[in-house]
Structure formats: C-alpha cells, structure tokens
Amino acid sequence: MQQHGLCPVCNGMANLAAVCPNCGGEGSDEGRLGDLYGPYSPYRAIDDVRLTNGFPDLLDGVCLHAAVCRRCGTVFPASVDEQ
C-alpha cells in the first residue's frame, strides 16, 4: 500500500495560503474540498474521494481545499502540498 503524506493545513500546522484566480485576493479556508461533495462525504475514506473527484490530487501528493475569496467571494479549489 502506498504511503501518503499529511496535509499541514488539515493538521493545524499551517494556514491556507491561497490566491483568488479571479481578482488576486486572499482566499479563506473552507475545509477539504472532498468534504463538501455531499452529506456523507466527510465519512468516506480520503483516498476513496481522491480517486473519484476528477482531480490528480492523489498522484500529485496534494490535499485540495475549498477556498473563498475574501474580496470578491469566488469559490475555488486550492492545493496544499502534503508533507
């Protein structure tokens, strides 16, 4: 079984640093993107969600977070490198 890293944002070791692709404003962290897919998403295995979310996050070793721009309100995915 492949060993995956851990997300420093999910584990409280760092704050999300995300820049809005629309206006360049600061993005605030709204949690793991996979947790927002449906009411039972937070209870699914993380790698299960990562295999079916349409992003290469599992292969790239990143954790995808949902971010909301504090300036314009745009919601966008923000990747965090796993350690």
Instruction: List, edge to edge, every strand of the sheet that includes 26-32.
Output: 18-19, 26-32, 62-69, 75-81
Using one digit for the tens of pLDDT, what is the confidence trace for 41-80?
Answer: 888 888 788 877 788 888 888 999 999 999 999 999 999 9
pLDDT tens-digit series, residues 3-51: 568 999 999 999 999 999 999 999 999 999 988 888 888 888 887 888 7
Instruction: Tell me: pLDDT of 1 over 60.
Output: no
Residue 45, φ and ψ in degrees, nearest 5 = -60, 135
pLDDT value at residue 4: 67
